[in-house]
Amino acid sequence: MALCYIAKILLFAHIGLQGAAATNETTTPMTSGTSAAGTSGTGVLYEYGNATDRLTARGDGIVSVNPTVKFPFGGNTYSSFDLYNRGLLYFNGFVIAPFSANIYNAVSGNIYYRQSADPSLLANATQDINTYFPGLGFSAQWVFIATWDKVPQNGGNASQVNTFQVVLITDGTISFALFNYADIQWTNGAQDRFAHHYWVQWLIGKTEPKFIS
């Protein structure tokens, strides 16, 4: 099963006056490249690795992220959200799920993350958004990148692993999520979506969130 070189881009338009939110989506086949572990920069994934990123804890790691630019999403702006090892970002009732599945990296696989306002990264993000959503005159002010590097499924091992990434981009008013899939070798856990959503509900300890995936 190969979902290689596919990027999915979601636009979350935050309309402040009405408190309303709209979502537009485009799926884009990318043209080239794979990524080496932790050293990407070529191909479908934004750069990631130990030089710039932190790692989540192994197993059922959860990291709380406090964006330096509040992230507009679902009619709110968020000054914090949680990154779950199991393939999702949780925003108080909403989930952005690049690959919500039975991921478990206790033994192998790393999940890297960072938020950044590095000018070179912002320039790249700006260019990517303006390529796929021309006419917005968008200028990125903040980027968050989480990269699941060679993660196995629960009970699996390093012989069958997935590498993918979610990138959040905002200018403080409009926000985007890029789902970048470099190498998908297993989908079993992902196919059992109904059970998985119940698991997520339990993990989050709240009523079932609204999924965007």
CA atoms of 119 and 141, how far apart (whole Å): 9
Q: Choose, by CB under 6 A, the member of 96, 121, 167, 178 that binds ligand NAG.
A: 121
- Does position 120 bind ligand NAG by CB under 6 A? yes
Closest approach of ligand NAG to the CB of residue 204, in Å: 27
- Does position 118 bind ligand NAG by CB under 6 A? yes
- Does position 47 bind ligand NAG by CB under 6 A? yes
Name the token pair of 92: 């108080």
Residue nearest to ligand NAG (CB): 38
Token pair 């086949």 is at which residue? 29
Cβ proximity to ligand NAG, 182 vs 204, nearer residue: 182
Vertex 147: Cα angle to 143 and 150 (nearest 5) = 170
Measured CA to CA in angstroms, residue 177 lies from 1, 17, 32, 38 at distances of 24, 22, 21, 21
* Site residues (CB under 6 A) for ligand NAG, limited to 123-182: 124, 156-157, 159-160
| Residues binding ligand NAG (CB under 6 A) | 11, 13, 22, 24, 37-38, 41, 46-47, 49-50, 55, 110, 118, 120-121, 124, 156-157, 159-160
